[in-house]
């Protein structure tokens, strides 16, 4: 591992060296705990660990919200009230493009963070912009899908199944939209303020958020679109 571009403080370098995977202790050794990891013997964790940890817990709670909407879909997927069934809704081509756009955006987001790690502002901004554009593409495809469905009369008011479908997919879309606004704010902050400590922390959180949305999308893709649309 090269040290060029790592956080300037010796303390941070020491921690990365001793604990490359952020385990809180030396890998594969019971050894003594690392300072700043938040384990009982050494006192409070560093701000970076606190922020990441807290955000993970937020993400878990967010995933609980998604799981409720998944559960509602599972309960209501046959409650079509004489209306369309899932297989009438799915358009595999658009679904493939959507998935490709979102997964690729996650990859770009990761590249953006790699650039952040070496404190390269230009490439961070470039990758974040591509992330945002791919997210936008995903959203536009989703809006197109919803408009198409509405034009065919398949609105959430039509049946319990459509309610659950629009609710779950729409909730994910709402998250992507909010993530997009967040991303724009982060790009502005990186541009104006550079890689200050708290801004890097926020970028870490944004990365976690964006990847989590991908994971949720995999669930939606499989459980909402693929399985119920099997002939």
The three-state DSSP-derived secondary structure of 159-220 is CHHHHHHHHHHHHHHHHHHHHHHHHHHHHHHHHHHCCCHHHHHHHHHHHHHHHHHHHHHHHH
Count, residues near other proteins per rule CB under 8 A: 44
By the rule CB under 8 A, 158 interacts with other proteins: yes
By the rule CB under 8 A, 61 interacts with other proteins: yes
By the rule CB under 8 A, 213 interacts with other proteins: no
- Nearest-approach distance from CB 103 to other proteins, in angstroms: 25
By the rule CB under 8 A, 153 interacts with other proteins: no
Binder of other proteins out of 23, 81, 96, 150 (CB under 8 A): 81
Q: Which residue has the tokens 């013997």?
A: 41
**DSSP classification of residue 6:** S
Binder of other proteins out of 190, 202, 203, 209 (CB under 8 A): 202
Q: Are the C-beta atoms of 165 and 86 separated by less than 8 Å?
A: yes
The CB density around residue 55, as the number of other CB atoms within 10 Å, is 19
Binder of other proteins out of 76, 105, 106, 116 (CB under 8 A): 76
The CB density around residue 25, as the number of other CB atoms within 10 Å, is 15
- Binding part of the chain for other proteins, among 2-10, 74-82, 90-98, 139-147 by CB under 8 A, reads 74-82
- Binding part of the chain for other proteins, among 14-22, 43-51, 95-103, 136-144 by CB under 8 A, reads 43-51
By the rule CB under 8 A, 53 interacts with other proteins: yes
């Amino acid at each position: 591992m090269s040290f060029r571009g790592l956080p300037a403080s010796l303390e941070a370098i020491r921690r990365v060296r001793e604990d490359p995977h952020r385990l809180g202790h030396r890998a594969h050794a019971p050894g003594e705990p690392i300072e700043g990891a938040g384990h009982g013997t050494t006192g409070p964790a560093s701000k970076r660990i606190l922020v990441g940890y807290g955000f993970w817990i937020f993400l878990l709670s967010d995933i609980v919200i998604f799981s409720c909407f998944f559960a509602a879909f599972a309960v209501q997927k046959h409650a079509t009230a004489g209306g369309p069934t899932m297989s009438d809704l799915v358009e595999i081509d658009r679904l493939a493009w959507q998935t490709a756009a979102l997964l690729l955006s996650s990859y770009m987001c990761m590249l953006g963070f790699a650039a952040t790690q070496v404190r390269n502002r230009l490439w961070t901004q470039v990758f974040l912009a591509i992330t945002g554009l791919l997210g936008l593409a995903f959203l536009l495809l989703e809006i197109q899908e919803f408009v198409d469905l509405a034009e065919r009369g398949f609105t959430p008011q039509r049946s319990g199944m459509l309610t659950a479908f629009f609710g779950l997919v729409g909730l994910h879309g709402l998250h992507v939209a909010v993530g997009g606004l967040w991303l724009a704010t982060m790009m502005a902050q990186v541009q104006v303020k550079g890689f200050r400590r708290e801004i890097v922390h926020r970028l870490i959180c944004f990365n976690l958020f964006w990847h989590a949305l991908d994971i949720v999308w995999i669930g939606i893709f499989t459980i909402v679109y693929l399985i119920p649309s099997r002939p």
